[in-house]
Amino acid sequence: MTGGSLTPDERVSAAVRLEKPDRVPVVPLVTAESAAGLAGITQAQINSDTNAALAATLKVFDEVGGWDSLFGGGVSTVAQRQAINMYPMKGLTPGKDIADNDVFQLVEEEVLLPEDYDKICEMGADRFYHEDYLWRIATFTPQEQPKVKEELKAVSRRYRTEFEKRGIGPFHVTAEMHPFFRLSLMRSMVRFTEDLYFNPEPVERALKAITEELISKQVHIAKKSGVARWMFVEERASAFFYPLSVFERFWWPYTEEVVDAFWAEGIVTIFHLDSCWDKNISYFRRLPKGSAIIELDSTTDIFRAKESLSGHLCILGDVPATLLSLGKPEEVEDYCKKLIDEVGGNGGFILSSGCAVPPDCKPENFRAMIETARNYESSRR
Amino acid sequence: MREDLGMAIADLKRDLVIEAVTQRSAQGEDPLAILEECRHGMTIVGDRFARGDYYLAELMLSAQVFNMAAGILEPYLSRARPSKPQGKVVLSTLKGDIHDLGKNILASLLRAQGFEVFDLGVDVTPDRIVDKVKEVRPELVGFSALMTGSYPTMKETSQMLKDSGLRGGLKLMVGGGVTTPMVKEYLDADFQTLDALAGVEYCLSVVGGGRK
């Protein structure tokens, strides 16, 4: 991607190290769903053919002249995401369960039962998922599973190769849900919240077990991947949902433990933080300087977050999904300029979409985001 | 006793509430009076939320407890004198979206304030909403959204309400994770929020009622 003196990798790494690169890097979260919308193919097509999803992603990348790093899990179908424990929920697949151009949906229902908390502790989280839980939600049979996984491996290899040809590397290779978020999705939010308030001990036992297993497996995998960043996803633990007493008891201690374990190996944690974290942001100052990236989805006040975390942790975000869907290119451009000036001012900032680029993002708005990152700072020099 | 049951709901003492409501209704106490005490508890919850002492989790749990109490009272209430609702509200998550957490919380809070709520569920088509509005003539219609993909269906529904001559007689509100003032403008809606309690306050202001 042109528009500066550094390579895309150098630019991103400088921002993560809290430095001010030649220009603010732009790393949008472009999923297969985003790419389908931007490339003008249906959601059903990308869910039945990962080659079509990859082709759509490459088309979008090439048409806008590229961005600085690959963020997210590449291209995959609902079934593949279930198979690799990326989405531990029942899913509705476009073209099969819902209309061709509806975006896939996760079904919020109680699948994990109260007695399963201790089952997770006894069996181990990974084994419990693959031997038991998966077969309560899967859209494929055990016989079909190897094929589902093999297809994902193949398209992931092609995805990486295609982008290597374009000089673009992954922002991260591994990703995991926070144990708190994982349990909430598996149990459903209402049931999980009841457990937290009315029967918390089994939840705590499971959180502890999942955290230990996550550290023992994922640090090794992330290290082996050769990319010193990994993604940690949490969408439900903020003070938008829970009081700080819940956050401090059920979320923060496990979070610190995980970040410290990765940071001990020099691996930076990318926090994907959806919902409003205004009341929680100051906690992240307790993490070691430079050990994490805070990705915000536009519901958290990114400008206040910058005041709180400036010079301590890199911030990534947060062009709002609604602005990308309904706004005008000049409005997107104005917002990106404000982010670059105010959040990127002293470095440690990566411009991105707030959460994933929505599938109904207007192509001209996506282009405005990318081009503002590429041209704005040099145009002022 | 009014304070005890109300406080038990406000303090999320689920088992205590179930036991008290079950016993008192079986003993022949006026179910409307018991329901009123439960509503009072939800008002305390609302006050705590407004002060920042309670969060969405407590709103959600108190709504669950209230729904349980209302469920126990239901057979007794159906035999009691009917009470006039504060107003009627039609709620739905529109086609292309199946998220209903926020909508369900709002529905419970509105019921606790005496509204008659017609919850059409998720993935709802515009014609179902228009038909329901024609049938029940609500003061308010609410759309809930967590996916930007449901914006066109919301817009279509808003337009259909106008074309059917129904829009003038009601207020249109929209809420949920992806909604912003820009969405309100796009839909030509009257109100937008991310805060369920603010939604309740708005509904009360429309019907000219006060919180119970």
Assess whether pLDDT exceeds 60 at residue B3.
no
CB A309 within 8 A of CB A267: no
How high is the pLDDT of residue A189? 94
Which among A301, A267, A261 is positioned nearest to A281, based on CA atoms?
Answer: A301
DSSP helix/strand/coil, B125? coil
Q: Do A321 and B98 touch (CB under 8 A)?
A: no
Q: What is the pTM of this model?
A: 0.93
Separation in Å, CA of A166 to nearest CA in chain B: 31
Is B60 close to A358, i.e. CB distance below 8 A? no
Mean of the pLDDT values across residues B71-87? 81
Using a CB–CB cutoff of 8 Å, tell me whether B101 touches chain A: yes
Test mutation, B55, B99, B100, B105, chain A, max A CBs within 10 A = B55
| Closest chain B C-alpha to A358 CA, distance in angstroms | 7
Beta strands in A227-326 (DSSP E): 229-234, 268-273, 292-296, 314-319
Per-residue pLDDT of chain A (381 residues; tens, 9 = 90+): 556 789 999 999 999 999 999 999 999 999 999 999 999 999 999 999 999 999 999 999 999 999 999 998 788 888 899 999 988 999 999 999 999 999 998 999 999 999 999 999 999 999 999 999 999 999 899 999 999 999 999 999 999 999 999 999 999 999 999 999 999 999 999 999 999 999 999 999 999 999 999 999 999 999 999 999 999 999 999 999 999 999 999 999 999 999 999 999 999 999 999 999 999 999 999 999 999 999 999 999 999 999 999 999 999 999 999 999 999 999 999 999 999 999 998 899 999 999 999 999 999 999 999 999 999 988 877
In chain B, residues with a C-beta closer than 8 Å to the C-beta of A42 are none
Q: A92 CB near a chain B CB, below 8 Å?
A: yes
All residues of chain A having their beta carbon less than 8 Å from the beta carbon of residue B99 are: 108
- Structure confidence at residue B1 (pLDDT): 46
Helices (H), A124-199: 125-128, 134-137, 145-165, 179-187, 189-198
What is the structure's pLDDT at B210? Answer: 61
Cα B45 to chain center, whole Å? 14
Q: Are A269 and A258 in contact (CB under 8 A)?
A: yes
Residues A25-44: tens digit of each pLDDT: 999 999 999 999 999 999 99
Compute the count of residue pairs across chains A and B with CB atoms less than 8 Å apart. Answer: 79
Closest residue in A to B98 (Cα–Cα): A105
Mark yes or no for CB contact A246/B57 under 8 Å.
Answer: yes
Residue A241: its chain B contacts at CB < 8 A? 55-57
Q: Does A196 touch chain B (CB under 8 A)?
A: yes
**Contact A322/B at CB under 8 A:** yes
What confidence score (pLDDT) does residue A17 get? Answer: 97
pLDDT digits (tens, 9 = 90+) for A96-115: 999 999 999 899 999 999 99
Does A320 contact B at CB distance below 8 Å?
yes
> What are the percentages of helix, strand and coil residues in chain B, rounded to 5?
60, 10, 30
Say whether A323 and B182 touch across the interface (CB within 8 A): yes
Residues belonging to chain B: 212
State both tokens at B23.
């016993």
Chain B nearest-CA residue for A243: B55
The pLDDT assigned to A3 comes to 63
Give the pLDDT of residue B108: 87
* CA max distance for chain A: 62
Which stretches of B52-100 are DSSP H helices? 56-77
Burial B133-142 (b: 16+ CB within 10 A, else e): beeeebbbbb
Taking an 8 Å cut-off on Cβ atoms, the answer to whether A321 and B178 are in contact is yes
Give contacts of B 30-49 with A, CB under 8 A: none
Given CB atoms, is B60 within the 8 Å cutoff of chain A? Answer: yes
| ipTM rounded to 2 decimals | 0.90
